[in-house]
């Protein structure tokens, strides 16, 4: 047994303890505990807190230091709650939980997109309860596959894959993602993609997010332009009472083209849509991520 595998087993043991506690508690109690742990995390995870503070400062230069500090605290509380939600996502089951916890705006856009029989690219960001689609989309009767990066610890990776697939969603490895996406779309599945993460320059096109240069994958725009696949922006916002507002914006149809400039332009269109979604509640985005990086 290698040092790495021993480390992974130890990590997994601690992870299982945390998961057991979160799942044992009543839902509202677990999420409230998550908020408290998130607040504590801001003090412990100083590097992440510094990244988030800098990202917020540069995204909102008009806000006062006190406003930014209040937002930063809310961001970490949100992240703590998110951690608890992710550990419990498979506990959501059936129409009762769907009706109890989820309110939908724009459901007709979802129905319209699937009725086209071309598959649907469900595009969002790490906003609110971003894992919620693995529950509510199958519960609504829509087939969905989620694009996800593999977690380095294989035991934890298998844990999350099992949880995401409990209610009928499938998980697609982001490696060689384009081929897997095309296969899913051909079956008229929805493919969930979070389009707000940094991508290495060799795989990306230049883009802008909150007024600063970033690199973004062009794959989603390329597929939509080549296949005529509808793109559906969808994001899930948590309310103060731990329910969710699912905002489904009108579908986007891109003109068919293989023009590189059109690909870049349409990728920027999708990024702008995510920025608008973040602005709906800036405390519910993943500000601790190093989305903005110096070009290499």
290 has a pLDDT exceeding 60: yes
The β-bridge relationship of strands 170-173 and 144-148 is parallel
Contact 119, 188 (CB under 8 A): yes
Residue 172: strand pairing partners: 147
In the predicted structure, residue 154 carries a pLDDT above the cut 90? no
- pLDDT more than 90, % of the chain: 74
> Could you tell me the two tokens for 64?
């006062």
Beta bridge partners of 237: 245
Q: Which of 27, 5, 192, 145 is closest to 93 using CA atoms? A: 27
pLDDT tier for residue 155 given thresholds of 50, 70 and 90: confident
Phi, psi of 259, rounded to the nearest 5 degrees: -70, 120
pLDDT at 176 over 80: no
Share above pLDDT 70 across residues of the chain, in percent, rounded to a whole number: 98
Beta partners for residue 146, in sequence order:
171, 192
User: Within 13 Å and on the Cβ side, how many CA atoms surround 211?
Assistant: 7
Its pTM stands at 0.92
**Mean pLDDT within 5-34:** 89
Model confidence at 294, in pLDDT bands (50, 70, 90)? low
pLDDT band at 134 (very low <50, low <70, confident <90, very high): very high
**What is the SS3 string spanning the chain?**
CCHHHHHHHHHHHHHHHHHHHHHHCCHHHHHHHHHHHHHHHHHHCHHHHHHHHHHHHHHCCCCCHHHHHHHHHHHHHHHHHHHHHHHCHHHCCHHHHHHHHEEEECHHHHHHHHHCCCCEEEEECCEECCCCHHHHHHHCCCCEEEEECCCCCHHHHHHHHHHHHCCCCEEEECCCHHHHHHHHHHCCCEEEEECCCCCCHHHCEEEEECCEEEEECCHHHHHHHHHCCCEEEEEEEECCCCCEEEEECCCECCCCCCCHHHHHHHHHHHHHHHHHHHHHCHHHECCCCCCCCCCC
pLDDT in tens, 70-119: 999 999 999 999 999 999 999 998 889 999 999 999 999 999 999 999 99
- Tell me the pairing of strands 231-238 and 244-248: antiparallel
Q: Is the pLDDT score of 205 beyond 90?
A: yes
Q: Evaluate if residue 3 carries a pLDDT over 80.
A: no
Task: Report the pLDDT averaged over residues 254-276.
Answer: 94
Q: How confident is the model at residue 166 (pLDDT cuts 50, 70, 90)?
A: confident
What pLDDT is recorded for position 123?
A: 97
Looking at every residue in the chain, the average pLDDT score rounds to 92
- Residue 78 to residues 41, 73, 129, 281, 296: CA-CA distances in angstroms? 11, 9, 9, 11, 32
CB 101 within 8 A of CB 243: yes
């Amino acid at each position: 047994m290698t040092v790495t595998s021993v480390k992974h087993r130890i990590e997994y043991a601690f992870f299982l303890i945390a998961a057991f506690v979160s799942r044992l508690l009543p839902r509202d109690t677990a999420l409230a505990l998550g908020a408290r742990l998130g607040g504590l995390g801001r003090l412990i995870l100083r590097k992440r807190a510094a990244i988030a503070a800098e990202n917020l400062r540069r995204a909102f230069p008009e806000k006062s230091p006190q406003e930014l500090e209040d937002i930063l605290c809310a961001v970490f509380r949100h992240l703590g709650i998110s951690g608890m939600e992710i550990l419990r996502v498979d506990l959501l089951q059936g129409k009762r939980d769907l009706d109890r916890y989820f309110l939908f705006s724009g459901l007709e856009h979802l129905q319209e997109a699937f009725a086209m029989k071309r598959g649907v690219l469900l595009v969002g960001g790490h906003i609110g309860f971003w894992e919620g689609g693995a529950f509510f989309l199958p519960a609504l009767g829509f087939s969905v596959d989620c694009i996800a990066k593999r977690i380095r610890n294989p035991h934890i990776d298998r844990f999350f894959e099992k949880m995401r697939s409990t209610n009928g969603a499938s998980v697609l490895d982001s490696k060689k993602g384009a081929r897997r996406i095309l296969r899913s779309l051909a079956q008229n599945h929805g493919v969930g993609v979070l389009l707000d993460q940094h991508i290495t320059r060799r795989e990306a096109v230049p883009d802008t997010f909150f007024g600063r240069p970033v690199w973004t994958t062009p794959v989603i725009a390329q597929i939509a332009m080549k296949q005529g696949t509808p793109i559906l922006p969808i994001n899930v916002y948590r309310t103060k009472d731990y329910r969710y507002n699912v905002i489904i914006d009108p579908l986007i149809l891109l003109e068919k083209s293989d023009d590189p400039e059109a690909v870049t332009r349409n990728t920027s269109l999708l990024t702008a849509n995510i920025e608008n979604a973040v602005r709906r509640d800036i405390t519910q985005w993943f500000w601790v991520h190093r989305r903005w990086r110096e070009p290499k």
